[in-house]
Amino acid sequence: MPIAGTTCASSGTGAEDEHRERTAASGNGVRNLRRAALRLHLADLAGFEADHAEARRLAVSLGGPEVRPHVLWQAGGLAWLRGNAARAEELTTEAYELFRRVTPHARHAYAAHQFTLRRADSRSGDAIGLLVETGDEGSPLLQEMAVLAAAESGDLAEARRLRARWGRTLIRDWASDVAVLVQAESALWLGDEPDWASAMEQVLPYRGRQAVLGTPSLSLGAYDELLGRIAERRGDLASARAWWTAARDQGHLVGSPHQVALAESHLARVGAPVPPPRQRSTQVTLGGRP
């Protein structure tokens, strides 16, 4: 009797079956990754964790060059959501080191992640060099991030110079929803009342959602938090409080201590009562801590 699989492999049938199985598994893994990102965008933490966990399971048996980096990126996004910035940085860097062997555009994803991580600890300026380099390679989203990073670091002249250098591009791809947030943030720094009104109009359709950087699933936070700051800038403190209360509730919903703390800091600053922290129900998360 031949060794199991020998005859099939020599005739091609076994190899073809294996290829089909791996292709199907790879497709399922990619589908889980994409759906996980969408679920996080919709503030569905349980769905995000479940799809990410399934993608991680499938990635163990897949050798595709794109699946594992995205699984690592999502694991970094989950760590980031849970408040573990150091782990998020470690995982996103590991994903970049793998993905850059596949495409030079991996640096674009890395630049966007560096922007997100650096601005969270008030070091947006540290990401400007990389953002400008990658922005010059033609990425409109990274150009917008560079402008905002310059503004948030206190160099409004540089932010305006970069805006004049690149102009503004209407972004209609996977990054369009994040671009809306970044452009609205820049309007608060560089614009005036008409710009703030336009920013409010652009961001409103995303209320109740998370700004998520595509499949890698690194969240820039709740659109509601930004809507609160736009309302405050326009002098509508009642609406600002309502938006920040919603952002705080969403932070609890997605398990993000950073988002909760940020919303509560806004509420405390404008004199709104801040309730004691909620006790989250004990549950087993499907994704597991990376």
User: pLDDT in tens for each of the 290 residues of the chain?
Assistant: 333 333 333 344 544 434 344 444 445 667 888 899 999 999 999 999 999 999 888 877 665 667 888 899 999 999 999 999 999 999 999 999 999 998 888 999 999 999 999 998 889 999 999 999 999 998 999 999 999 999 999 999 999 999 999 988 777 766 788 999 999 999 999 999 999 999 999 999 999 999 999 888 899 999 999 999 999 999 999 999 999 999 999 999 999 999 999 999 999 999 877 666 554 433 322 233 23
Q: Do 143 and 193 fall within a single domain?
A: no
Q: Do 127 and 53 fall within a single domain?
A: no
What single letter denotes the amino acid at residue 84?
Answer: N
- Contact assessment for residue 220 and residue 184, using Cβ atoms and an 8 Å cutoff: no
Q: How many distinct structural domains can be found in the chain?
A: 3
- Contact assessment for residue 221 and residue 262, using Cβ atoms and an 8 Å cutoff: yes
**Domain residue limits at 273:** 187-280
> Does residue 249 fall inside a structural domain?
yes
Domain boundary among 71, 102, 133: 102
Q: Do 91 and 111 fall within a single domain?
A: no
Q: pTM of the prediction?
A: 0.82
> Does residue 201 fall inside a structural domain?
yes
Nearest Cα residue to 39 out of 27, 53, 26, 25: 53
Q: Is residue 255 classed as helix, strand or coil in its secondary structure?
A: coil
Q: Do 165 and 227 fall within a single domain?
A: no
E strands, 11-55, where? none
